[in-house]
Amino acid sequence: MLSQFNQFLLNFSLLITSLLFAFLPLRHIKRISPTSPIRIRLIVGVIAGLISVLLVLNSVTYDGAKVDLRLVALVTAFYYGGWVSGGITMVAIIGARFIITPPGAYEGLILTALICSALLVTASVYRRFASHTLKDYLILIAIGIGYSLPALYLLTETFTRFLEISLVYIIFILLGGYVTYRFLQELRKHFQFVQMQQELALTDGLTNLANRRKLDETLASYDKDGFAFSVLIVDIDFFKSVNDTYGHDGGDVVLRQLSHLLEHCCPDKAMVGRYGGEEFVLLLPDMPLKEAVRLGETIRSACADQHFVFSTYPAFHVTLSIGVAASDQAATSFEVVQKADQSLYQAKQTGRNKVVAYSEVD
Selecting among 157, 186, 278, 279, the annotated active-site residue is: 278
Please classify residue 118 by burial: count the beta carbons closer than 10 Å to its beta carbon, then call 0-12 exposed, 13-18 middle and 19+ buried: middle
Please classify residue 199 by burial: count the beta carbons closer than 10 Å to its beta carbon, then call 0-12 exposed, 13-18 middle and 19+ buried: exposed
Is 278 a known active-site residue? yes
* C-alpha span between 161 and 152 (Å, rounded): 10
Contact 326, 359 (CB under 8 A): no
Please classify residue 93 by burial: count the beta carbons closer than 10 Å to its beta carbon, then call 0-12 exposed, 13-18 middle and 19+ buried: buried
* Alpha helix stretches (DSSP H) within the chain: 2-22, 38-57, 70-99, 107-127, 134-155, 159-201, 212-225, 239-265, 289-305, 333-349
Least Cα distance to 114 among 147, 75, 138, 88 occurs for 147
Q: Is the CA virtual torsion 97, 98, 100, 104 positive or negative?
A: positive
Beta bridge partners of 272: 282
* C-alpha span between 17 and 30 (Å, rounded): 22
Element of type H or E holding 231: strand 229-236
* C-alpha span between 25 and 190 (Å, rounded): 14
Contact 198, 37 (CB under 8 A): no
Beta strand 65-67 with 271-276 is unpaired
Q: Report the amino acid identity of residue 73.
A: A
Number of other residues whose CB lies within 10 A of the CB of residue 283: 24
In degrees, rounded to 5, the angle at the alpha carbon of residue 143 between the alpha carbons of residues 173 and 75 is: 65
Least Cα distance to 333 among 233, 196, 182, 228 occurs for 228
Catalytic residues: 278
